[in-house]
Amino acid sequence: MSFVGRSYRLPWIYEVGRQNIIEFAYAVSDLNPVYRDPEAAKAIGHPDSVASPTFLSVLATRSHHVVTDDPDLGLDYSRMVHGAQRFVLHRPVRPGDRLTTSAHVDDITSRAGNDYIVLRSEFATEEGEKVGTVVATLIVRGDGIGLGEGKDA
């Protein structure tokens, strides 16, 4: 059975707090004032402070967990490494955004004994405005067990 095309609607809204944005900026050592000071952001044309370009990692990691924890998929998390990541930002993330998440299994391939899973997470407001798309490639290091064959295969 193929899992390509499977989608998950995550059962929560992530409300972006002003402090979440500030703490993330500190965590990646970027002290640009536009992340913490609304006046600095307004001075360059934004209505409020903005989040770091990779802020959606915080939401995407939670999104990945939902997929990797799906018992049907039978992934071995201990053998998983992160292969690639892409952030497509349709508009800046701002304080007060209430974001929905949907996760999509776009592709699964096996190469050289490893499984490559392409997971796309779509983040939007409750009104449906697209905010960001995050695409991750997760690699499950090979042991000869195919995806979807179950954990005890």
Partner 1 sequence: MSTTTTGLRRAADVSKGDQLPPLTLKVTRRDLIRYSGISSDCNFIHYSDKRAKEAGLPGVIAHGLLTMGMVAKIVTDWVGDPAAVVDYQARFGRPVVVPDDEAGTTIDVTAKVGLVNDDGTARVDVYAKCEGQLIFGRCYAIVRLA
Footprint of partner 1 on this chain (CB under 8 A)?
Answer: 23-24, 26-30, 32, 34-35, 43-46, 50, 52-54, 57-58, 61-62, 65, 78, 81-89, 92, 135, 137
CB of 122 to partner 1, least distance (A): 15
Q: Residue type for 64, please?
A: H
Report residue 92 as tokens: 């800046």
Say if residues 133 and 88 touch (Cβ distance below 8 Å). Answer: yes
User: Taken in order 103, 104, 110, 116, is the CA torsion positive or negative?
Assistant: negative
Nearer to partner 1, 23 or 149 (CB): 23
Nearer of residues 1 and 60 to partner 1, judged by Cβ: 60
The least CB distance from residue 147 to partner 1, in Å, is 20
- What tokens were used for 83? 């292969």
Q: Cβ closer to partner 1: 98 or 141?
A: 141
Q: CA–CA separation, 67 vs 31, rounded Å? A: 33
